[in-house]
Chain A
């Protein structure tokens, strides 16, 4: 009974570890990302032909319609319609499994994801793009942040991330996933960037299809799988009794199961990769013991 209570407490609290304080760490990470960037994060994405208009002096000659000039002798300028939604929409998995922190990890997976999400938000806001934040699962009291921009938006996002705790069981309750992704899929328009931070371990079987569906209609989707070092290496040498943090799975195992575990993990990642890449999305894997700067940089690179 006491073990059960302890487990519930662990599920409800978030182990930030050395990743706190989030605000400062996020800025540091963002600065680190800028230092390594060579091109604008906004360049190139989401520009489409929007019609013609008469040339007026001062227009960029690169946009002059040469074909119209030669055929009709009219000076027309090709208009390019910039996407109205350039927002960065961040979705953080805050279900119970994201609260796991192994011995080698600096913090829980949710803490690491929060750091990455905050850093991404800061980068986007510094670039002038609006940012929103949503959660898969998490505490009912902790709400997401709607699309907004400016310094205040970053503060709100950091506050929301700091207030979040790992709760909810997406494996049993598919509605948890639907609540997080349903509104996102409806609101995000062409050109918007969606970043999903999750361990992808306890999501229901239909999750790959539903998440990869975001990548349609011209939206950019990056899914970053955040794993604890324990989950990436299965370090258990002695016999342990493992209890899932979502669902009721209980397995007694030892180091003899390492190979089969790693093989199944590889299969899981491969299936996610197939589902996402097939729809033009990107799939990134990271562990919480890695430098968050490199994780954010990988996401930014994938967005480009």
Chain B
């Protein structure tokens, strides 16, 4: 028997002693046989009860005092079950990677979610830090981001941690750990660590183990968070006419058996429009026919999965009407190009070669109604002979609303008929003349990168001359070798107008045949895609509203604050659901959908060094002697009060008994 065991037994005896004394002192009511018991009324034994209560209080206080005294004596040995890092003695710089992805909302074991447990663990780690230690917090929900830059102000670190809330984002563990390493690698503390609080489910279970070959020590502090949990999610819900197609995915086969997808509407989803059973497949689609009286447009229809699984937030998906990607319209003279290429116009073939996500739709002439431009994210017009007033209004509204317009100016543009011009994109008429320059200056076209070199010899028969005023109003993307603008970009409202002083036709130049032209188209399409985000996007991906001056966004959890970055307003949807946007007064509905990879809750492997007890563990030595000493003082004061109170009551009782005798005397 060790000394500690003997000491513990002795303390146990000390704790029991007051109880035994209390039991011995306590008066037990005598039991007697009494024939007339039925005539006796039970009375509350006031005196005895009072004594018993006092005795219990005294017993409790004394027993607690003994325990507190013992703890006070043993306080250097007191160990608390809480997360703490092992320390070498020097100051520590720790970067806490806290996973706020959707899979962390799974509930396992107790009633708390994984995120809540991880947050509690982070709180305990912060609590174990000392003065001079630095802490930073990185969130692993995609995209990984810094929640708190490295600071030695542990109070603000705790406040920042307290303010964190879970999200439905995907997981970017590697990105978060890279950021974490960056945050602490330059700090002066000798001991620098990265602590990972995650379920390690980033959709890549076969990826290299976490912590393997890391430059800084990595500690996966709560490996118990990892584990596969059953989950099914609704990834997308699209409506076409009176049919809704709901795409689902589960992380194990037959998880959806017995469950069904329902389409509901109303403020609380009280009206069911239709339902369909979930097939046994792990992934698939459920098609539900909507009734004839199903709401159109404005009213939001929600697809929801019945039953329950580990993650509830991905069991609902707003139904989106025509949520396909926006298209790119191309206006060119097909007769001329078909002669030269033997097929589609060269610009269409170039777009097909780029494999852009936008569908290319050739249209015979520029749209002359605003609603005709609605399906398009970008419009490319090749050598149009000016625009009619209706076309100008439609295109101007399209551009100011965020659309991208590409005007290739050639001899037809210079020979615009009366009443046709390019206002408001060009304030002055354009001219066509012989080019004195063979091609573009590669140094003037950084946008095109290395491909700019291919534009040095364009073999142009002529080129478009722009008025000085129009050139000054635009940014020149590339110049001829003689300094004249070749490609220009001009912002108009929320959109942009790109101009080329050469047409796409191979009859006029070799521009469309050069790699630089593909680079130009790629940059244009990328810009168009960024400006025309689809109505449904991945949760956590940024929605960019370039050119917008005012933006209001309201999501499932309330209003979001737009951020202006690189001249454009941006909003990041943190949770899955529908978002009501008001862009410059125009209402818009967008949907944030869960990322399919997040449903895969299989954890990544962890390097043995990352879970080694040398990094830390669930036990910490905490100095609580001051608190125990205060408690002991309070207990002693409490016993004094109880004793004084008991003495006063006894005195008053004796006085009450003696009173009548005195009167009788």
Contact = CB atoms under 8 A, between A and B. Distances in A.
Interface stretch (A183-191, A239-247, A276-284): A239-247
B13 to A, nearest CB: 30
B4 interface: no
Contacts of A257: 40-43
A1 interface: no
Contacts of B34: 100, 230-231, 242-245
Nearest to A100: B35
Question: Which residue, B30, B31, B47, has most C-beta atoms of chain A within 10 A?
Answer: B31
B41 A251 contact: yes
B33 A7 contact: yes
A100 B33 contact: yes
Contacts of A247: 38
Contacts of A250: 37
Contacts of A199: 35-36
B48 interface: yes
Contact of B33 (A10, A201, A252): A10
Given A239-B48, A254-B45, A264 B32 contact: no
A243 B41 contact: no
A210 to B, nearest CB: 19
Contacts of B47: 239, 254
Contacts of B299: none
Given A252-B45, A254-B45, A242 B39 contact: no
A230 B29 CA distance: 18
Contacts of B41: 251, 253, 257, 260-261, 264
B169 to A, nearest CB: 67
Nearest to B34: A242
B30 A231 contact: no
Question: Which residue, B30, B36, B43, has most C-beta atoms of chain A within 10 A?
Answer: B36
Question: Which residue, A109, A242, A256, has most C-beta atoms of chain B within 10 A?
Answer: A242
B30 A97 contact: no
Specify the main secondary structure of chain A where it touches its partner: mixed
A261 B36 contact: yes
A257 B45 CA distance: 11
Interface string B4-43: 0000000000000000000000010111111111111111
Given A202-B38, A251-B37, A242 B32 contact: yes
Contacts of A260: 41
Contact of A242 (B27, B40, B45, B48): B40
A286 to B, nearest CB: 15
Contacts of A167: none
B36 A239 contact: no
A261 B35 CA distance: 13
A265 interface: yes
A228 B33 CA distance: 13
B35 A201 contact: yes
Contacts of B37: 242-245, 249-251
Given A251-B41, A260-B41, A243 B35 contact: no
Contact of A244 (B27, B38, B45): B38
Q: Which interface class (under 10, 10 to 19, 20 to 34, 35 or more) fits A?
A: 35 or more
Interface string A1-32: 00100010011000000000000000000000
Given A252-B45, A253-B43, A240 B38 contact: no
A238 interface: yes
Interface in A212-240: 228, 230-231, 234, 238-240
Contacts of B39: 201, 261, 264-265, 268
Given A239-B29, A239-B48, A240-B29, A254 B43 contact: yes
Interface string A37-64: 0000000000000000000000000000
Given A252-B45, A254-B45, A243 B31 contact: yes
A240 B31 CA distance: 6
B311 to A, nearest CB: 58
Given A239-B48, A240-B30, A231 B42 contact: no
B40 A251 contact: yes
Interface string A260-275: 1100110010000000
A261 B40 contact: yes
A40 B23 CA distance: 66
B48 A251 contact: no
Contact of B32 (A171, A231, A240): A240
Nearest to B48: A239
B656 to A, nearest CB: 14
A264 B38 CA distance: 10
B43 A3 contact: no
B470 to A, nearest CB: 107
Nearest to B38: A249
Contacts of A249: 37-38
Contacts of B35: 97-98, 100, 109, 199, 201-202, 228, 231, 244-246
Contacts of A240: 29-32
Contacts of A171: 38
A247 B38 CA distance: 9
A109 B36 CA distance: 13
Nearest to B44: A256
B71 to A, nearest CB: 39
A11 B34 CA distance: 11
Nearest to B37: A244
A230 B47 CA distance: 23
Contacts of B36: 199, 201, 231, 261, 265
B33 A239 contact: no
Contact of B31 (A3, A97, A202): A3
Given A253-B43, A254-B43, A254-B45, A243 B38 contact: no
Given A201-B38, A249-B38, A261-B36, A241 B31 contact: yes
Contacts of A238: 30
Interface in A63-103: 97-98, 100
Interface string B385-403: 0000000000000000000
Contacts of A254: 43, 45, 47
8 contacts: A3-B31, A241-B30, A242-B40, A253-B41, A254-B43, A257-B41, A261-B40, A268-B39
Given A100-B34, A243-B31, 12 more contacts: A97-B35, A100-B35, A199-B36, A239-B27, A241-B30, A242-B40, A245-B34, A251-B40, A252-B45, A261-B36, A264-B41, A268-B39
Q: Which 6 A-B pairs have the closest CB atoms?
A: A97-B35, A244-B37, A241-B31, A242-B34, A264-B39, A239-B45
Interface of B: 27, 29-43, 45, 47-48
